[in-house]
Structure 1
Amino acid sequence: MAQDSTSPVKTTKALDDYVLLGRSGLRVSPLCLGTVTFGESWGVGANKEESKKVFDLYYEKGGNFFDTANFYNYGESERFLGDYVSDKRSDVVIATKYTINPNAMQADRRFNPNFGGNHRKSLVENLDASLKRLNMNYVDILYAHLFEYRTPIEEMMRSLDDVIRSGKALYVAVSDIPSWALSRANTFAELRGWSPFIGLQTRYNLLNRSLEYDLLPACAELDIGIIPWGVVAEGFLTGKHTRKSTANLKPESRSHKVANHSKVEKNWKILDEVIAVSKEIDRSPVQIATNWVLQKPGITSSLIGARTVSQLEENLKSLEFKLTPEHMKRLDDVSQPDDFPFPYSFTDQFDKYIGKNIQMPNKFASIAKTYNYGSLYN
C-alpha cells in the first residue's frame, strides 16, 4: 500500500550518522549540543549534576559535537564541559568561541578593551583562557563569534591560521557574519594558503529565513557547512506560548525575545501551522521546527540546547522522521519572507533573457527553488 502523502517518513537516522563539516574531513553529529545551558551563573541553566545527565545522554546516543563559548555562564559552561570530556577527549569534537569580551559582562571585573574583538591579542588571550577552563591542550573548532567591523579581515585570518599551526585549534569557523565578509575572509585564506572557515553558525528558523538570500549561496560556493542556531526562535516555536500568555510580557523580562516575536501577527500564523502539522503526525512543535531546518539545503548540523534530560530527549526525536514534501511546502509557504530584496527582486525579471531553459546550479538552490527565481518564463 502506498504511504499516505501526509504521513511522515520514518528514518533510522541517529546522532552517530556522522556528516562531514564543510570542506573538511571532520565527522560531526547531525545535531550539535549547545552548552549555553551548562551552569547557573546567568540565573538560568542547569547545575553541574543536571548538565552532566544531559551530556551523558547525548554522548551515549552517539553524539560527538559540543558547542560552547568563552563567556557562557561566565566560564562555567567550558569548565563543566571540560570535566565531562576529560576521559573522552579523543571521542568528541569540541568547539568554542572568542570575540565577545567576558569581562565587559561582569561589573566586578576590570574592563580590558583588548579582551574582546577578533584581533590577535584577543584571540591569544581568550583561547588560552578557554583551554585552561576546558583543561585541554586544543579545541577541534575555534569560532570567531561574530564579525565586529574593527579588526581587519587579513589580521583575523592570519591570526587564526597561526593558531592552527600552533596546534591549539584544528579548524576555524565563524558565527554571525555578513556574506561579503565571509567571502572575503575565505578568499584571503585561499590566496595566502591560510586555513579557511569550514563552518558557519547563524540564526535560521521559520520566523527568520534571511540566511537564504546571501549566506546560504555563499556557503555553497565556498563549501562551508552551516550549523544554525535559534531553530525554535528562542522558544516561541515550542508551542508553549499563546497570544494570551504573551500579552503582558515585558521587554525587559527574560522572555523579551518571545515578547518581540509575539508582536508580529505573521509569527502566530507560522506557529499555528507548526502546531497543526505536529498534531497531524503526532510530533511536538519543537521536533517539527527542527526537522524543517534539517531538511533545508546546505544545513550540516543543527544546534540544540537543553536544560533537562527530557528536553534533550524531545530534541533527539527530531531525527526519527522526515516531514513530507506536502508538510514542508505548507511550512515554507506560511513562513515565506514578505520581502524579496534587491538585487534578486530586480534581476529576476531579466532572467528569462539569460537563463531560459537552463537549470540554475544546485548550489544556488535556495534562490532558484525557494523564491522560484526566473518564474516569469515558467
Structure 2
Amino acid sequence: MQALHDVVRAGYVRYIGMSSCYAWQFHAMQNYAIANKLTPFISMQNHYSLVYREEEHEMLPTLKYFGVGSIPWSPLARGLLTRPLTEKTARGNTDLLIGRYLGGAGTEEIVRRVEEVAKKHGISMAQVSVAWTLSKHEVTAPIVGTTSLKNLEDIIEGAKVTLTPEEIKYLEEPYKPQEIIGHS
C-alpha cells in the first residue's frame, strides 16, 4: 500500500483500485491504508454478471461500507449473455472459460430469460445485460469488451435501458450460488 501511495503522491496516477480478490483481502488492505494515512482504493474491478453474482455475498456490501465503486469485468459473460444459446460463434466454440459459466446451475435459464426480455423490449440481449448491471447501485460502470464498433455501439445503448423491478427479479431468479471464478 505504501508503494501505491508513493505512486499517487508522485503524481503518476490520481487514484488506485483493486481487482479480483476476496472481500477480506480488500477489507484488510483498505483498513491498512486508512489506518496508516495512505491512499485508499476508490474502485474494485470485480467479476460480476447475471450468470456470476458471487460478489453480492461479501464484496458488494464491503464496497458499499467503504464508499468504493464497483467496475465489474465480464458483465456480458464473455459474450454468453449477448446471443441465444442456439447461436454459435467461433469464440463460443473455442473459449474454454465460457464452459465454466455453462456449468453453473441456472445459467441456461438466465440466458433464455435475457433473450425473452430483449425481445419484449425490441433491444439486444447485450443491452438487457448491461441494463441489469447498471441497475445495481454499487456499480459505477461495467468494463465491456467487444470485437467490433457496431457491437460497442449496441452495448452503449444498454445504458439508456431501464428494467422494471419485476424484470430484474425475473432475470435473477434462476441464479444458483457457484464456486468463485476469477480470483487467483
CA distance in 2, matches of 1:218, 1:265: 26
Which of 14, 18, 23 is the matching residue for 1:174? 18
Cα gap change, 1:259/1:294 in structure 2, threshold over 3 Å: closer, same or farther?
A: same
Q: What's the CA shift for 1:325?
A: 1.4
Q: What's the CA shift for 1:259?
A: 3.0
Which of 34, 59, 70 is the matching residue for 1:215? 59
Task: Report the TM-score when normalising by structure 1.
Answer: 0.44
Equivalence for 1:202 = 46
CA distance in 2, matches of 1:263, 1:221: 32
CA distance in 1, matches of 2:44, 2:104: 28
* Matched position secondary structure for 2:97: helix
CA distance in 2, matches of 1:241, 1:160: 43
CA distance in 2, matches of 1:197, 1:171: 7
1:160 corresponds to 2:160 = no
Equivalence for 2:169 = 329
1:1-378 alignment, distance < 5 Å: 157-242=1-86, 245=88, 253=94, 255-264=95-104, 266-335=106-175, 337-338=176-177
Q: What's the CA shift for 1:225?
A: 0.6
Greater fraction of residues in strand: 1
CA distance in 2, matches of 1:212, 1:192: 29
CA distance in 1, matches of 2:14, 2:160: 32
Greater fraction of residues in helix: 2
Identity of matched residues, %: 28
Kept in 2: contact 1:273–1:334 (CA 8 A): no
CA distance in 2, matches of 1:270, 1:180: 29
CA distance in 2, matches of 1:185, 1:172: 12
CA distance in 2, matches of 1:264, 1:191: 40
Instruction: Please tell me the root mean square deviation across aligned C-alpha atoms, in Å.
Output: 1.9
* Aligned length in residues: 176
Once the two structures are superposed, what CA deviation does each residue of 1:49-98 show, in whole Å capped at 9, x if it has no partner?
Answer: xxxxxxxxxxxxxxxxxxxxxxxxxxxxxxxxxxxxxxxxxxxxxxxxxx
Once the two structures are superposed, what CA deviation does each residue of 1:117-169 show, in whole Å capped at 9, x if it has no partner?
Answer: xxxxxxxxxxxxxxxxxxxxxxxxxxxxxxxxxxxxxxxx0110011111111
Once the two structures are superposed, what CA deviation does each residue of 1:217-270 show, in whole Å capped at 9, x if it has no partner?
Answer: 11011111100111111111111542x849xx77xx3x2122333344521111
Which structure has more relative contact order (CA 8 Å, sep 6+)? It is: 2
CA distance in 2, matches of 1:286, 1:261: 16
Q: What's the CA shift for 1:302?
A: 1.1
CA distance in 1, matches of 2:36, 2:21: 21
Kept in 2: contact 1:239–1:275 (CA 8 A): yes
CA distance in 2, matches of 1:267, 1:338: 11
Q: Which runs of 5+ in 1 are unaligned?
A: 1-156, 340-378
Task: Report the TM-score when normalising by structure 2.
Answer: 0.88
